[in-house]
Chain A
């Protein structure tokens, strides 16, 4: 198992500064996701790690050694591309064999490894098939097998699930997660799908506009984003203005801990599911609208302006609730869920 580290990496294509001073460390055997919107530079970061692109400045370390001058074919950082890119003129077995054959490994050793990998990926019966005869899920298993059979130092997954049907996508996510745990390969997944990133990885690096915005656990990324930019990318939220004084944030909804922030104006971030709507407990509000979504109902509620609450204007909030019994125009009560709410600038 091998660690991976990129240090102050910059990359531009013409006038487009794609990656801005990115630093990222991945521990041996760790599964990390690089999450960001399309075009934010995450695939470029993967190609820099693999050596398929060269950074303008900064360094890439694999296993503690700087590999800026190591060509892609000798880095041991293998990418599984979004569209799998299986060689169309080779069978499944030949595709998996490719990396072993070019390394001039003996035929018997190659045969043993290929058979083992076909077995792990559960595609032994497809060994002699050409890629065109495979389904999306099977193609992905072949692409994974082709990469894993080389026992890469770092496995790089470039949105590998985005071309799959939703049902198959969940199966393959579970399969990849299990496989990574079993093989213990240091893995970096690039995705724009937050659910996928949270589900699979121990840590998530959020990249927006070429900058690493936050590198943290999925829970902290979701509940304690460092910036409004990260918060908005991860999911919908209410922002309530207030003031920090002596490491405490005060707003219309109450007082909240702000231990790491200095005094001044700030915002309380509350995800839609961090507010609870009920008939009896909390602050009185009026239901403005209701959108039924099946497993959840999104309400838009209004808290009337109140001098005593420090609300010079009416406050509008959105709430997700499993209770769909509230109707627009009716009165209700809202409160913040236990330990919910995060103060940010």
Chain B
């Protein structure tokens, strides 16, 4: 009941925005003299090569960055957990990237990884490359390496923090029992720790994926002009001087929302299965 006003505001923003986008995606923009309703813009978007390519690229960026973030975040969490002596210092240090704004990270990554950046200059100085052009293209590249590096920089500490805080809530007796029953440290990690952390890891993956899928500024500033993610494609369509492109932009936004909702549904399903299997102790 106390949360009512919060849900009301959130609902108005989300549902209101979604309805507006849905209505416009069907071609209904009376202000621009467009008052007929059809699925024409969806047909146009879904058969457009740029959209298919962009969808594929967006999935690639989101999946790669979230999978790597989760894998490396869990790994770093285990390392932090092991090195108890330096725990406090390393813990603080590893939290720093979370509070740095994305735009600052973008500038940092640009200056380090661009062909005229710090790494390139260093490689040139020690004779590894003869000119800036010999340095691999990591920014504005078609593979989205620069974009993924930014996501990793921000998301690995996030995953690590999630995993550490939740793993502290897991009863340490499970680990003692496992050791007492003959399990090696590796067997304890694979058979006890990781399964108990599965819901947390799943949540962390979903957060990272959702961000990677819907983020605008990082691929806009560091991505390849030839490979655009869906939010950038939607932005280009929306800002197009051709008014007819506006419903197409909204159709792309609706498709992004639908994919996000499907992800939430899959997440809820998997979480429900994990809960039935007794893993609710580690769910966030």
Which A residues contact B (CB, under 8 angstroms)? 50-52, 71-74, 77-79, 81, 83, 85, 87-90, 98-99, 102-103, 130-132, 146-147, 150
Contact = CB atoms under 8 A, between A and B. Distances in A.
Interface stretch (B30-38, B63-71, B172-180): B172-180
Contacts of B280: 88
Summarize B's interface: helix, strand, loop or mixed: helix
A273 B171 CA distance: 45
Contacts of B182: 73-74, 99, 102-103, 150
Interface in B167-223: 171, 173-174, 176-184, 187, 191-192, 195-196, 198
A88 B279 contact: yes
Nearest to B171: A85
Most B C-beta atoms less than 10 A away, residue of A77, A81, A87, A150: A87
A102 B181 contact: yes
Nearest to B181: A99
B84 interface: no
Given A85-B174, A90-B278, A98-B191, A52 B181 contact: no
B277 interface: yes
Interface string B273-284: 010111111000
Nearest to B170: A88
A132 B278 contact: yes
A89 B173 contact: no
B195 A89 contact: yes
B179 A73 contact: yes
B192 A87 contact: yes
Given A78-B181, A147-B181, 16 more contacts: A73-B179, A73-B183, A73-B184, A85-B176, A85-B177, A87-B177, A88-B281, A89-B195, A89-B198, A89-B274, A98-B181, A98-B183, A98-B191, A102-B187, A130-B278, A146-B181
B154 to A, nearest CB: 30
User: Which of B171, B173, B184, B278 counts the most A-chain CB atoms under 10 A from its CB?
Assistant: B278
Nearest to A52: B176
- Residue of B183, B198, B279 with most chain A CB atoms under a 10 A cut-off: B183
A77 B181 CA distance: 9
B278 A72 contact: no
A51 B176 CA distance: 10
Across the A-B interface, the 7 shortest Cβ-Cβ residue pairs = A88-B278, A99-B181, A130-B278, A102-B183, A85-B173, A73-B182, A85-B177
B29 to A, nearest CB: 52
B278 A131 contact: yes
A103 B279 CA distance: 24
Contacts of A90: 278
Contacts of A50: 180
A132 B176 CA distance: 20
Interface string B252-284: 000000000000000000000010111111000
Contacts of B274: 89
A14 to B, nearest CB: 16
Contacts of B178: 87, 98, 102
29 contacts: A52-B176, A72-B180, A73-B179, A73-B181, A74-B182, A77-B180, A78-B181, A79-B177, A81-B177, A83-B173, A85-B171, A87-B192, A87-B278, A88-B279, A88-B280, A88-B281, A89-B195, A89-B277, A89-B279, A98-B181, A99-B182, A102-B178, A102-B181, A102-B183, A103-B182, A130-B276, A132-B278, A146-B181, A147-B181
Contacts of A51: 180
Contacts of B176: 52, 79, 81, 85
A47 B281 CA distance: 25
Given A98-B191, A102-B182, A88 B196 contact: yes
Nearest to B187: A102
Contacts of B180: 50-52, 72-73, 77-79
A89 B179 contact: no
B195 to A, nearest CB: 5
A51 B179 CA distance: 10
Contacts of A147: 181
A25 B19 CA distance: 77
A21 B184 CA distance: 31
A4 B132 CA distance: 72
A51 to B, nearest CB: 8
Tell me which of A50, A51, A89, A150 has the highest count of chain B C-beta atoms within 10 A of its own C-beta: A89
A146 B178 CA distance: 11
